[in-house]
Amino acid sequence: MFNKILIANRGEIAVRVIKTCRRLGIATVVVYSDADADSLAVEMADEAVHIGAAPAAQSYLVADKIIAACKQTGAQAVHPGFGFLSEKAEFAQRCADEGIVFIGPNPGAISAMGDKIESKKFAAAAGVSCVPGHIGEIADTAEALTVSETIGYPVMIKASAGGGGKGIRVAWSRQDVEEGFPAVRAEAAGAFGDDRIFIEKFIESPRHIEIQVLGDKHGNVVHLFERECSIQRRNQKVIEEAPSPLLDPETRAAMGAQAVALAKAVNYDSAGTVEFVAGQDRSFYFLEMNTRLQVEHPVTELITGLDLVEQMIRSAAGEKLAFGQDDLAINGWAIESRIYAEDPYRKFLPSIGRLVRYAPPAEGEKGAYTVRNDAGVREGDEISMYYDPMISKLCTWAPTRIEAVQGMARALEDFHIEGPGHNVPFLAAVMDQDRFVAGELATSYIKDEFPDGFSGTEPTAFQADLLTAVGCAMQRIQAQRLGRARSDWTVVVGHGKQRVHLSGEGSSLTVDLLDEGRSLQLTDIAWRPGLPTFRGVLDGTAFTAEVAPAPEGFVIRHRAAKARVLVLTARSAELHDKLPAKAPADTSKLVLSPMPGLVVSMDVAVGQTVREGEVVCVLEAMKMQNILRAERDAVVKTVNARPGDPVAADQVLVEFG
């Protein structure tokens, strides 16, 4: 076994590997860029080595710097995590040449399966069912158009070295190919240093199901069952679970056997994932193989009881697998929600900034469910524009799927973040949807369920009661501190208005809804002025709400329902009814930057006439390129940014006359 391992990665996965190494008694080294000098991983590791500037191409992707750090610190092995150098066969070979153990598959397996184009050729030759497509590199946009029209729209334009949702576009028409092909190539070059592209048929309404495999250096390979990863946006996984609600035992066994056969064919000797696209009828096709640890590996760990990082380390050290396929079984159900620094209310655009507050739910058993949270950040850390915007991975485990879903919904209530925008309300909305609870999933789920984007949800009857009760309780607690407690108020929640009478003492409160002739019992109240969350039990149901002061009341969010709650005297309520509605600002003549980022191209000039749908400019943030289009026909009046300029969210880029 190794004495010291270097982790060639950052953030959450670096922290994850350190935790396993600590348990195994292995010393750790992390490398870090300028942006990560004060990171949690640097704090936790036994040693840390600076390797360059913030852009990955100048730090985490530079093999020479990783090898030099190993030699400097005496690390015997490298764990690459995911992303960066994790699927670079040449890096694995370089490690071998330098006498350093690569904690991952052998270079031959990476070459055979890690490259999207070569893996499809290999799979086709091995008789594995593949998605129809053009198995080969596409030279330019003209060839991309020819191939796309031969296959038939819609098609997927994919980077050969892609991963993490980057370097991929769905094209529904010639125009989509003309715009998408160069964008995918640019993303691929920037994120992976490899701009090779291939095209395959896009299967509509599919499910994304993947099989976790694990091999050793003695020819043994097993599968650890499946994960369902169908809830995606922009081809980036958002919610994963294990097992899949789609599969029956027969399909599970067939997919697992195919994945193991493919892994054995390339002498696979570490953790890896064979990805399939599945139809609702349980038909499935090989998509690709990820020759590394997956972001969503925690759900597999939760249902199998195995530590995949430990298994990778043991395999790399030459140990045989300590178990066979018959020793493995699925225990319970696990759900993972990826907590991203992105604004779901603005089409999930990346958000950066300091984590002013970061308060995840406590880990461990919570009665019917168990919570796990894998994170690489602390309160006060900065979410950088240079890397993936993930904040953490929140997981729940329970004996059944419905209990795991309910546990996740409750855990999301207990997750409080301030600073950058985040997707916790959106994740909570999905957990509450009947379709998700029923397991009726597809990769088009977010587009299907939120066709006009996400704007929160309307309060349910229970949530309307909760917002009313919480607003009353907060008003009462504040008034009592000032010695001006009242018992009668008018509460306005959205368009609803309610006269209430309050009674009770301490942590218990009765809220009489006078207009409806019923009462609410709010007990176990845990809040004081200044706290961002309010905890309590409403009519027997425990909850956590996010709260903030506002003029004459509060802004309160419970899961995906958010409202301004006014707690007014009767006279104030009368006056509010007479106030005119405030008209929103007119931004129809402006093109605003939807996020902080860099201007890649400015495609219009002053005086130019543009048509609705034409490209105005392209922005890059979090390694993704975003195309901004004109929303109407117009003439350009001013252009306020040039290629290469950094821009802030809501900055005016172009003004129309």
CATH code: domain of residue 171: 3.30.1490.20
* Sign of the dihedral defined by the CA atoms of residues 536, 538, 540, 545, in that order: negative
Check residue 80 and give its pLDDT: 98
Check residue 401 and give its pLDDT: 98
**Residues in contact with 190: Cβ distance below 8 Å, sequence separation at least 6, in sequence order:** 57, 620, 623
* Sign of the dihedral defined by the CA atoms of residues 428, 433, 438, 440, in that order: negative
Note the pLDDT tens digit of each residue in 174-194: 999 999 999 999 988 888 888
Same domain for 354 and 252: yes
Note whether 244 and 209 are within 8 A (CB). yes
Q: Report if residue 334 sits inside a domain.
A: yes
Backbone angles phi, psi at 168, to 5 degrees: -155, 140
* Residue linked to tokens 């067939």: 254
Same domain for 313 and 197: no
Check residue 257 and give its pLDDT: 93
Of 125 and 290, more confident: 290
* Residue linked to tokens 């990171």: 39
Same domain for 160 and 30: no
Same domain for 538 and 440: no
- Average pLDDT value over all residues in the chain: 93
Q: Report if residue 96 sits inside a domain.
A: yes
Predicted confidence (pLDDT) at residue 114 exceeds the cutoff of 90: no
**Residues in contact with 600: Cβ distance below 8 Å, sequence separation at least 6, in sequence order:** 186, 617, 618, 619, 620, 625, 643
In sequence order, what E strands does 436-559 have?
Answer: 488-493, 496-503, 509-513, 518-526, 533-538, 541-550, 553-558
Predicted confidence (pLDDT) at residue 623 exceeds the cutoff of 70: no
Predicted confidence (pLDDT) at residue 580 exceeds the cutoff of 90: no
pLDDT band at 485 (very low <50, low <70, confident <90, very high): confident
Q: Report if residue 235 sits inside a domain.
A: no
Q: Report if residue 338 sits inside a domain.
A: yes
Note the pLDDT tens digit of each residue in 513-566: 999 999 999 999 999 999 999 999 999 999 999 999 999 999 999 999 999 999
Q: Report if residue 88 sits inside a domain.
A: yes
What pTM, to 2 d.p., does this model score? 0.84
CATH assignment at residue 610: 2.40.50.100
Q: Where are the alpha helices (DSSP H) in 414-481?
A: 424-431, 434-437, 445-449, 461-481
Reduced to 3 states (helix: H, G, I; strand: E, B; else coil), residue 124 is helix
Residue 80: exposure state from Cβ atoms within 10 A (0-12, 13-18, ≥19):
buried
* Residue linked to tokens 């208005």: 497
pLDDT band at 622 (very low <50, low <70, confident <90, very high): low
Name the residues annotated as catalytic: 288
- Name beta bridge partners: 337: 239, 394
pLDDT band at 344 (very low <50, low <70, confident <90, very high): very high
Q: Report if residue 121 sits inside a domain.
A: no
Give the number of domains in the chain.
Answer: 5
Q: Report if residue 515 sits inside a domain.
A: yes
Backbone angles phi, psi at 529, to 5 degrees: -55, 130
Check residue 19 and give its pLDDT: 98
Q: Report if residue 126 sits inside a domain.
A: no
CATH assignment at residue 496: 3.30.700.30
Nearest by Cα to 197 from 109, 137, 283, 140: 137
List Cα–Cα distances, 553 to 18, 176, 523, 546, 571, in angstroms. 45, 48, 21, 14, 15
Note whether 652 and 592 are within 8 A (CB). yes
Same domain for 561 and 474: yes
Same domain for 548 and 419: no
Check residue 349 and give its pLDDT: 80
Predicted confidence (pLDDT) at residue 155 exceeds the cutoff of 70: yes
Reduced to 3 states (helix: H, G, I; strand: E, B; else coil), residue 480 is helix
**How far is it, in rounded angstroms, from Cα 76 to Cα 26?**
11
- Of 415, 449, 483, the last residue of a domain is 449
Same domain for 398 and 348: yes
Instruction: Count Cβ atoms below 10 Å from residue 195 Cβ, excluding itself.
Output: 18
**How far is it, in rounded angstroms, from Cα 64 to Cα 51?**
10
**Cα R_g (the chain), whole angstroms:** 27
H or E element, residue 219: none
Q: Helix axis angle, 297-304 relative to 308-316, nearest 10°?
A: 90
Predicted confidence (pLDDT) at residue 445 exceeds the cutoff of 70: yes
Check residue 358 and give its pLDDT: 97
Token pair listed for 13:
């996965």
Same domain for 343 and 486: no
Separation of CA 252 from chain center: 26
Nearest by Cα to 252 from 329, 333, 336, 337: 329
Check residue 133 and give its pLDDT: 82
Same domain for 617 and 551: no
Note the pLDDT tens digit of each residue in 248-287: 999 999 999 999 999 998 999 999 999 999 989 898 999 8
Predicted confidence (pLDDT) at residue 626 exceeds the cutoff of 70: yes
Predicted confidence (pLDDT) at residue 649 exceeds the cutoff of 90: no
**How far is it, in rounded angstroms, from Cα 169 to Cα 372?**
33
For residue 563, the enclosing domain spans 461-576
Check residue 639 and give its pLDDT: 95
Check residue 119 and give its pLDDT: 84
Reduced to 3 states (helix: H, G, I; strand: E, B; else coil), residue 262 is helix
- Of 576, 604, 639, the last residue of a domain is 576
Note whether 393 and 338 are within 8 A (CB). yes
Of 79 and 189, more confident: 79
Note whether 169 and 156 are within 8 A (CB). yes
Same domain for 549 and 620: no
Least confident of 72-76, 110-114, 394-398: 110-114
**How far is it, in rounded angstroms, from Cα 492 to Cα 396?**
35
Same domain for 445 and 471: no
Predicted confidence (pLDDT) at residue 165 exceeds the cutoff of 90: no
| CA atoms within 13 A of residue 635's CA, in its CB half-sphere | 3
CATH assignment at residue 73: 3.40.50.20
Same domain for 559 and 478: yes
* Sign of the dihedral defined by the CA atoms of residues 301, 304, 308, 310, in that order: positive
- Of 576, 610, 626, the last residue of a domain is 576
CATH assignment at residue 381: 3.30.470.20
